[in-house]
Structure 1
Amino acid sequence: MSSVFPSPADLPASIPALVLRAAQLHGDAIALEDGAQRIAYAELPERMLEVSRALIAAGIGHGDRVAIWAPNSIEWVLLALGLQAAGAVMVPLNTRMKGSEAADILDRSGTRLLFVQGQFLGNDYPAMLAPVRPAGLEQVVVIGESAAAEQALSAFLAGGQAVSAQQALERAQSVGSDDLSDLLFTSGTTGKPKGVMYAHGQSLRAFNEYVRIIGLVPGDRYLIVNPFFHSFGYKAGWLTCLLGGATILPQAMFDADDVFRRVEQDKVTILPGPPTLYLSMLDHPRRGATDLSSLRVAVTGASTIPPVLIKRMREELGFTIVTTAYGLTECGGLATICDPQDSAQTIAGTSGKPIPGTELGILDAEGNALSQGEQGEICLRGFHVMQGYFNNDQATAEALDAQGWLHTGDVGSLDVEGNLRITGRLKDMFIVGGFNCYPAEIEAALSEHPSIAQVAVLGVPDERMGEVGCACVVLRQGEQVSDADLISWSRERMANYKVPRRIAFYRELPTNASNKVDKLLLARQLAG
């Protein structure tokens, strides 16, 4: 299978240039679809420049920050493309943020204009922001209805009539590959979120490889459940579709019933997501009665995936291509990926090999390279490493060393074939009796238990040992097992210090807005 753009040299310089080229390549093919709303690739430049014209009229220039605080939708993509075509830098905001959290990022990023959803899941976002709005935020443009609406999107776009389409086109054509395309803020699990500076050319090169590896082809229909504010929904989502000529099908939030409906109704061919998405589909009572035959490609990513899940995704959900990948915001969201032809054990147990142009190293605390099989910090070097953290030189220096290595804070090793095995986070590590315990390693062992559907391990305080492991377990449908049985089973299969001393059963594990297991919330629940 070949990519639409087979080599880095053939890639457009920027995301706006990609849109202009995709319109020529794919013409009447549908680029964006949600229910009755459809936008063809040929229409996309005009819709993109409509937003750009309004932003230029509002005084937005090259390098200015423009934020989007909204759930996945067609409007989200159009606004993102329009602001990037105006030369602005996109700042996506997590839809689960409260007003003060959003205000902090808007303030520290120096955002001048915000596009914000009026109402979503019972929240009035403009009203939440109003009491804490940063002084530097000049305009708030509301998508939909809000009691605190300052300016409606339709009125804002109408203001663009003062700027010609030719002027907007020239602005779009002036955006270069080294210009910043976005500031994605890290999750903030180790302090305040940090804004990752990333350029147009970096994303296009990395995700052109992604298109090639997963075998995306023009005409594919890509249901994007992963949130657009995250690289999985943005870069491995709608940007990937534009690179490959697929149809973008936005999904505002994950709902298993709705996903089933859309797969059948919209003939979805590509459905990426975290393991929780596929687990919920496999256990769904309507699975046997729903036509899932259109599904072809699944992409997931987590440090612990039971091989049986990969097997079930292929046999019971019908995916012919299942693969796993690894990345983080600081490298654009993609660093390694499994060859879809690899075995279920390799795809489940590793995150594959580096994409072309990426160097992967496993380093010790002194920065020395470790041998195959030895555990150390996962470090990355290459074209796709961030340009730094926005207005945070100290944090940049801590993450990027003098040799150009990005220190990820993740722990892992390389197998004999050069595939990356993730063991855990440096900061997630807990110590039992003087031994270092990495949660992902213990989770991988526990996931082999036939009754376990999903598991998360974390260290919890213990009066005698200081810390011990606690396994938070979701059982497969219809299975029953006691905590004593699981602990006994673990003792037979792992070193004593790794054996969880505590088991907590859950119907489902809490997740954050990126659909990753929320271990911070689990820790609070266990402490309570």
Structure 2
Amino acid sequence: MPTKDNATESTITEDISARRAALDARFNNWPRNTIATHFYQACSTYPERMYIQTDNDSITYKETWELAKNYAKALINLGVKRRDHVAMLMENDVVYPALMIACSMVGAVFIPINTMLSKNELKYILTQSDARYLIMHQATKNNPLAVSITALLNEEYFKKETQLQEIVCLPNHNELLDERFLPWEKFCKKAELITDEKWQERWKASRYPDEVGAIIYTSGSTGTPKGVMLTDDMLLRSSYSTCMSRAIEDGRVTFAPLPFYHCYNLIEGIFAMSFVGGLLVAPRSFSPLSAMEMIEKYQANDFLLVPTMLVPFLNHPKLTEYDLSSLFAMWCGAAPAPIPVWKKAIELLGLTEIITGYGQSEVASSGVTTELGISLETLTTRVGRPKLGGVSGLPEFNGSNVEYKTVDIETRETLPHGSVGELAVRGTTVSHGYYKKPEETAKVIDKDGWLLTGDVGRLDENGYIELIGRTKDIYKVSGELVSPREVEEAISKHPMVDQVAVIGVPDSLTTEAGAAFIELKAGEDCKRKDILSWCTDYLARFKVPRHIWFIETTEWPLTSTGKVQKFRLKEIAEERLATRNK
């Protein structure tokens, strides 16, 4: 474990190279396993180690494998065939990885679904994904998800369009909301009728790692979700390269209060820990106080989170009352965190290995991460460069699994290195497309496998990616392009500002104008004129937002992983402007 000090910069420890060498020493070459085969090896190597800890439950690697085997048998008896789609509508649970492994064993495609979705959003995904089976948490009248699913089962459109054949519900102590739900006990009992020979025969027929193993729906931060098709090999290569880049040591304990259904915790948590026999502590929800309690209790070494979690965690008045000395690493992703936040995290927590990263579901979570030991200035202005691949990497990608370039936003022509353009990526962890969406796929993936990310940025002289904004977020003021990210960075430097998001809105004089949504720090009082005055010191005149709206913490429209949904902000802005113009 790295030695701590009172440094105000992330530092490289002497054993990082040794940790990376230890990882690669486990393989002579990349094994190209399926999820099930990978976990068979992991569970055989670390049988008695704890693997998953949720709020009140825990499970070892050996127990995970035994459950997965029984669940696979139950799925076979239930009628699940190879290539069938199995949706999982579940909060964080110790059985989640086992169900995922079971799907791999029987050759089914698992589809993790966001538990925060509305009934209509669930209807869209369950029908569009062709899910034949659904596994969900307690299906009682007190569970809003169960109420939504029951309502869908009674809708004529859903009954006509869905392919759902069975809905399995995890254990509960109350009466099921609908008799059409299969109780967990009956599901598990189905395993008794399937022999080991039949299970092994199915598993043997399901060991091709380049088949689609998962369909992960995009978060909806830019509109209608799309089902990203990922193979087992993509998922495993991405998580292994995370281990290499972060030099994750044997037995690391990672605290990650993030949902299992999102690729962030799925790849960087569930899968990454399985490569090192680590423990993943993953509560169903986040609160600063409970986070401190769990980090202290389980002696967590690592903290995966997003800025909307980090800021209240660091500002909590009881932070110093807990022993958090076991922490030395942190990955704060999904959105940029300013230098003062990183400095505070290092000073209060004694962190020695801090990173951020950049990616999307289409690249099996993160494609790039920042290097251990870089300056805070680089950490806050760059999102990283391609992760180290180790034995999983390709020589043509300089040992990574991906490569990036920038292209002209309109012509798609490759731009010279260092030019600002739309980021494109290709590689072994890049999805081949969206499920049943050939037109959308063709728009973003070309014949050579380059995927357009939808992000504007550039690659600097060291190969680091500087994000400038989303192609959909860039707006024009009197013909001049404005990056919301640049405006956000300027406003976030104001001492009274806690969080800011900028969008472009229609304007009769300049075609478009900037609109800034700002959350102030607790107890601060700031006026519109103060923000405008501040902006004029940092931004060109046309970049200064015309509209300034102050909002509270609870008013931010967020995805389940803390990303601001800017398309929702546009809707809010339209409503406010319409009201003002009446």
TM band (smaller chain): over 0.9
Partner residue of 1:458 out of 482, 487, 503: 503
For the pair 1:85 / 2:129, whether they are aligned, the reply is no
Map residues 167-178 of structure 1 onto 2, 5 A cutoff: 167-173=198-204, 174-178=206-210
Equivalent-residue separation in structure 1 for 2:207 and 2:30 (angstroms): 17
Deviation, 1:25, is 1.8
Map residues 79-478 of structure 1 onto 2, 5 A cutoff: 79-118=99-138, 123-133=143-153, 134=158, 135-145=162-172, 146-148=176-178, 150-173=181-204, 174-355=206-387, 356-364=400-408, 365-478=410-523
Distance 1:5 1:100, change over 3 A: farther
Name the stretch that deviates more: 418-427 or 133-142: 133-142
Contact 2:64–2:97 (CA<8 Å) still a contact in 1?
A: no
Q: Report the 3-state secondary structure (helix = DSSP H, G, I; strand = E; otherwise coil) of the residue aligned with 2:356.
A: strand
Q: Match for residue 23 of structure 2?
A: 4
Contact 2:514–2:547 (CA<8 Å) still a contact in 1?
A: yes
Deviation, 1:91, is 0.8
Map residues 23-42 of structure 1 onto 2, 5 A cutoff: 23-34=43-54, 37-42=57-62
Equivalent-residue separation in structure 2 for 1:37 and 1:226 (angstroms): 16
AA aligned to 1:415 is D
Q: Match for residue 6 of structure 2?
A: none
1:8-47: CA deviations, max 9, x gaps? 8244511111111112222311112235533222332211
Distance 1:36 1:197, change over 3 A: closer
Contact 1:424–1:438 (CA<8 Å) still a contact in 2?
A: yes
Equivalent-residue separation in structure 1 for 2:140 and 2:269 (angstroms): 21
Q: Match for residue 524 of structure 1?
A: 571
Q: Give the TM-score normalised by structure 1.
A: 0.94
AA aligned to 1:64 is D
Deviation, 1:257, is 2.4
Structure 1 unmatched runs, 5+: none
Equivalent-residue separation in structure 2 for 1:523 and 1:10 (angstroms): 46
Q: Match for residue 512 of structure 1?
A: 559
Q: Which has the higher contact order (CA 8 A, sep 6+)?
A: 2
1:432-455: CA deviations, max 9, x gaps? 111111212221232233333322
AA aligned to 2:187 is F
AA aligned to 2:332 is T
Deviation, 1:178, is 0.7
1:53-83: CA deviations, max 9, x gaps? 1001111122110000111111222222222
Deviation, 1:480, is 4.1
RMSD: 2.1
Q: Give the TM-score normalised by structure 2.
A: 0.86
Deviation, 1:166, is 4.1
Name the stretch that deviates more: 249-258 or 302-311: 302-311
Contact 1:19–1:44 (CA<8 Å) still a contact in 2?
A: no
Contact 2:81–2:108 (CA<8 Å) still a contact in 1?
A: yes
Contact 1:116–1:142 (CA<8 Å) still a contact in 2?
A: yes
Q: Match for residue 61 of structure 1?
A: 81
Contact 1:207–1:235 (CA<8 Å) still a contact in 2?
A: yes
How many pairs were matched up? 528
Deviation, 1:492, is 1.2
Contact 2:478–2:510 (CA<8 Å) still a contact in 1?
A: yes
Q: Report the 3-state secondary structure (helix = DSSP H, G, I; strand = E; otherwise coil) of the residue aligned with 1:216.
A: coil
Distance 1:122 1:285, change over 3 A: farther
Name the stretch that deviates more: 348-357 or 170-179: 170-179
Contact 2:212–2:229 (CA<8 Å) still a contact in 1?
A: yes
Deviation, 1:478, is 4.8
For the pair 1:499 / 2:544, whether they are aligned, the reply is yes
1:346-395: CA deviations, max 9, x gaps? 11111111121211001112222323443210000111111211122111
Q: Report the 3-state secondary structure (helix = DSSP H, G, I; strand = E; otherwise coil) of the residue aligned with 2:23.
A: coil
Deviation, 1:303, is 4.9
Equivalent-residue separation in structure 2 for 1:317 and 1:119 (angstroms): 41
Distance 1:504 1:98, change over 3 A: same
Name the stretch that deviates more: 330-339 or 248-257: 248-257
Equivalent-residue separation in structure 1 for 2:54 and 2:221 (angstroms): 34
- % identity of equivalent residues: 28
Contact 1:68–1:91 (CA<8 Å) still a contact in 2?
A: yes
AA aligned to 2:405 is G
Equivalent-residue separation in structure 2 for 1:8 and 1:393 (angstroms): 38
Distance 1:435 1:304, change over 3 A: farther
Equivalent-residue separation in structure 2 for 1:277 and 1:44 (angstroms): 29
